[in-house]
A and B are shown apart, each in its own frame.
Chain A
Amino acid sequence: MGATHLPATEFDGTGVDDQREAEAEALLGGPAEPMVQLLAPDGTLGTDPVFSEYAQRLDAEKLRGFYADMAKIRRFDVEATALQRQGQLALWVPLTGQEAAQIGSGRASQPQDYIFPTYREHGVALTRNVDLAELLRQFRGVSNGGWNPKDTNFHLYTLVLAAQTPHAVGYAMGIQRDQKLAARAAEADGAAGVPAEPKAAVVVYFGDGASSEGDVHESMVFASSYNAPVVFFCQNNHWAISVPSSVQTRIPLSNRAKGYGFPGIRVDGNDVIAVHAVTEWALERAREGKGPVLIEAFTYRVGAHTTADDPTKYRESAEEGLWRAKDPLERLEKYLRTEGLADDAFFDRVRADGDELAAYVRKTTHDLETPDIRTAFANTYVEAHPLVAEELAWFEEYSAGFAEEAGPADAETGDAR
């Protein structure tokens, strides 16, 4: 695979992959929808007829917050990678390069919205106030989840690709029904003065690789059929492990939405301001009952798919270089400095906060306790189940036998195994 055939910049107008761009245009019967970008790689802020209005809602504090979040999650990513290399985690899924896509979209959601992530949405988790140390439970091998989604409206990671997309649509259909039930109840009670629950929507994340899964298609059909308040957020990071996005699609993924009958928008996924604007627009639209939107955040996974992956086997370092030049943190830093919205002291503080977070995560990971397998017995079913009870009883008896063998001293410590 030569560098000129790399799909790193497909459809982005740089001419690196003119052949594919021309092919896509021919398939679409015209040029693809332009990509929404507000903050250019050189740190200058552009305009957009629709989305500049949303960008104008962002004050200096919010912009500094975006930067702090992105820096924090990148530092977390470095720490988690190190923990995996030290044997403290079974696996890690790095997000470096995708910070803007995640922080921008996550910060656009409201507390009442419900988020269905895939397994790389550490940045979105940060915006939903999930304890990042809890995020590592799954990778440490002490839980298949690790946090209670009810606390933050941030669902558990899903490892089966795209399986969470129909869940999101179903959840959104539930929101629709809640609104109808509430309206009926209010009518019955004559409680016109009671403030209504804030309107909610759902965001579901998936990648360009997952976009090939049937569940994404079925979810979009359902979402469209029932006009569900759901935002499909595809992070096109260009690689499904070793298979490029060119194998997943011949046209920009965002264009698929037209086939389902709802808007699709391609946004520069390394531009946190544009991602935030587009997601806020889509969520407001969904909450107002105008139906689903597909957002394709055009970004890049700078590192490996997971710590078990080796990108040198399937892509050129030149491609990574192209994307490093579009780094989401650097471009926002340039903007903040140029506009005088942040100074050295701010960036020093962000760095210190990142190190503090890393230290917390490192310590907490080391301290995570191995669960008792009895919790798995307890949580297989909600209601009592005779087979589980029988096998647990056998396990207890079996374990007790080891305690007797070990002698009274060990038995007293409760170390039955």
Chain B
Amino acid sequence: MTTMTIAKAINEGLRATLGGNPRSLLMGEDIGALGGVYRVSDGLLAEFGADRVVDTPLAESGIIGTAIGLSLRGYLPVCEIQFDGFVFPGFNQITTQLAKMHSRSNGNLTVPVVIRIPYGGGIGSIEHHSESPEALFAHTAGLRIITPSNPHDAYWMIQQAVDCQDPVIVFEPKRRYWLKGEVDMESPGASADPFKAHVLREGTDATVVVYGPLVPVALAAANAAAEDGHSVEVIDLRSISPIDFDTVTASVQKTGRLIVAHEAPTFGGIGGEIAARISERAFHSLEAPVIRVGGFHMPYPVAKVEEDYLPDIDRILEALERALSY
């Protein structure tokens, strides 16, 4: 076991990928000499050279489009999009091309491209630097979407994404890049399947489902609830597409109450999908309606008021209170 930050764990995961497969390469703006704006690729250019760690022109569609071409030639590109709000110039390539290439070729072609996107708020930044667009991609069949919440997952998930034959978007919780934790670099252990949810804390009164940046928030809320005598189960979803509904269903069948929290706007978000599915799967186990906690239906607000926008411990506890009141 080694202790490191999420950013360092991804860096190590990328190093292992580049070292392990000569056909893998990194592509993105400022990822070379600078090591990425978050230094996630720090040192990799010096170690692997400019053909493997490619500083690209400033062009998101170009990055993703050329990555598709490289993958058609048998390469394994890992693209970095600098910030969540800048992925949209590449949205067309991701949704109309990358997601559909395997299907439209009747299974003859595979495009195992990985796209890393730092996402979410809480860093006090300016417009387009704090968004949570995961639902926009999750709605598109053909893509897989995962998000680590701790260094161990971060180390393994990036490698698992590269190993996957389908295109994978890895949403990285940017405000947790400096979160430290233990990484077992020898074995993924329980993280062997990146598409399986983890029960982080067991409970009996309610289930809170979260992912990425909100995981520490949900754990803190569960601790606070315990002081009031409520036993809350916390699930780290880890994979947004596919969603591990079996783990969530089993938990709700035990607790009878479900709260889903994410930073993205509540309307049309992943929380709604989970609420609907669980209502179908575990209707008779539910003691209360599924309650969603999320961002508001507005463009991500200015940094000075983002504390009011982002779900926090109190917002999760308020939802818990409502669920328990039924």
Chain A interface residues (CB < 8 Å from chain B): 143-145, 148-150, 155-156, 158, 160, 163, 165-175, 177-178, 180-181, 214-215, 218-219, 221-222, 225, 375-376, 378-383, 385-387
CA distance A187 to B264 in the complex (A): 52
Complex interface: chain A residues within 8 A of B122 (CB): none
Would you call B100 and A144 a contact (CB within 8 A)? yes
In the bound complex, do residue B166 and residue A382 qualify as a contact, i.e. CB atoms below 8 Å apart? yes
Query: Taking each of B71, B104, B144, which has the highest tally of chain A beta carbons within 10 Å of its own beta carbon?
Result: B104
Judge if B56 is at the interface, Cβ distance under 8 Å.
yes
CB-based contact A163/B93 at 8 Å: yes
CB distance from B181 to the nearest CB of A (A): 28
Q: How many A-B residue pairs have CB under 8 A?
A: 147
Q: Does B136 contact A (CB under 8 A)?
A: no
B71 cross-chain contacts in A, Cβ below 8 A: 170
Are B102 and A379 neighbours in the complex by a CB distance under 8 Å? yes
A172 to B70, CA, bound (A): 8
Classify chain B: how many residues form its interface, as a range: 35 or more
Closest residue of B by beta carbon distance from A165: B65
Selected interface stretch from B107-115, B212-220, B221-229: B107-115
B166 engages A383 (CB within 8 Å): yes
Taking CB atoms, residues of chain A closer than 8 Å to B164 are: 383
Q: Pick 29 A–B contacts, CB within 8 A, sort by A.
A: A144-B103, A148-B106, A149-B108, A150-B109, A163-B65, A163-B93, A166-B62, A166-B64, A166-B93, A168-B69, A170-B66, A170-B77, A175-B73, A177-B25, A177-B70, A177-B75, A180-B51, A215-B92, A215-B93, A218-B57, A219-B62, A221-B59, A222-B59, A375-B106, A376-B103, A382-B107, A382-B110, A382-B166, A385-B242
Cβ of B67 under 8 Å from chain A: yes
Complex Cα–Cα for A222 and B164 (A): 26
| Given contact pairs A145-B104, A379-B102, A380-B141, A171 touches B72 in the complex (Cβ within 8 A) | yes
Question: Is there an interface contact between B69 and A379, defined as CB atoms closer than 8 Å?
Answer: no
- Contact partner of B22 (CB less than 8 A), chosen from A150, A181, A385, A387, is A181
In the bound assembly, the distance between CA atoms of A160 and B92 in angstroms comes to: 9
Q: A218-B61, A379-B103, A380-B141 are known contacts. Are A177 and B69 too (CB-CB below 8 A)?
A: no
| Contact among A150, A170, A383 for B108, CB-based, below 8 A | A150
Quick check: is B105 within 8 A (CB to CB) of the other chain?
yes
> Contact: A381 with B142, CB < 8 Å?
yes
Given A177-B51, A383-B166, A167 contacting B106 (CB threshold 8 A): no
CB-CB contacts of B29-42 with A at 8 A, as 1s and 0s?
A: 00000000000000
| Cβ–Cβ contact A148 & B108, under 8 A | yes
Q: Which of B62, B106, B107 contacts A221 (CB 8 A)?
A: B62
Q: How far is the CA of A380 from the CA of B142 in the complex (A)?
A: 5
Supply 18 further A-B pairs (C-beta < 8 A) apart from A166-B61, A169-B62, A171-B72.
A144-B103, A145-B104, A149-B109, A156-B109, A163-B65, A166-B64, A167-B66, A170-B73, A175-B73, A181-B22, A215-B61, A215-B65, A219-B62, A222-B62, A378-B107, A381-B142, A386-B242, A386-B245
Chain B 60-96, CB-CB to A under 8 Å as 1, else 0, gives: 0110111111111111010000000000010011001
Contacts A380-B141, A383-B164: A156 and B65 contacting too (C-beta < 8 A)? no
Report yes or no: B106 in contact with A379, Cβ–Cβ below 8 A: yes
Q: In the complex, what residues of A have CB within 8 A of residue B245's CB?
A: 386
Q: Are B73 and A383 in contact (CB under 8 A)?
A: no
Inter-subunit contact A174/B51 (CB<8 Å): no
Please tell me if the beta carbons of A167 and B65 are within 8 angstroms of each other in the complex.
yes
Q: Which residues of A are found within 8 Å of B100, using beta-carbon distances?
A: 144
Distance A180 CA – B112 CA, assembled complex (angstroms): 22
Q: How far is the CA of A311 from the CA of B150 in the complex (A)?
A: 60
Residues of B within 8 A of A376 (CB): 103
Q: How far is the CA of A383 from the CA of B194 in the complex (A)?
A: 13
Q: A174-B70, A178-B73 are in contact. Are A143 and B59 (CB under 8 A)?
A: no
Contact (Cβ within 8 A) B102 A381: yes
Question: What's the minimum C-beta distance from B91 to chain A, rounded to whole angstroms?
Answer: 12
Question: Nearest A residue to B66 by beta-carbon distance?
Answer: A170
Residues of A within 8 A of B51 (CB): 177, 180
B62 and A218 form a contact (CB under 8 A): yes
Chain A residue at smallest Cβ distance from B89: A214
Determine how close the nearest CB of chain B comes to the CB of A85; give it in whole angstroms. Answer: 26
A149 lies within 8 A of B57 (CB)? no
**B112, closest chain A residue (CB):** A382
Residue of B nearest to A376 (CB): B103
10 cross-chain pairs, A with B, having the tightest CB-CB distances, nearest first: A170-B69, A166-B65, A174-B73, A170-B66, A218-B62, A144-B104, A382-B165, A171-B69, A167-B69, A218-B59
Residue numbers in A under 8 Å from B106 (CB-CB): 143, 145, 148, 375, 379
Contact check, B69 vs A156: say whether CB atoms are below 8 A apart. Answer: no
Q: Please report the C-alpha to C-alpha distance between residue A375 and residue B195 in the assembled complex, in whole angstroms.
A: 24
Asked if B266 is at the interface of the complex by the 8 Å CB criterion, the answer is no
Contact residues in A for B77 (Cβ distance below 8 Å): 170
Known A150-B108, A178-B73; contact A382-B102, beta-carbon cutoff 8 A: yes
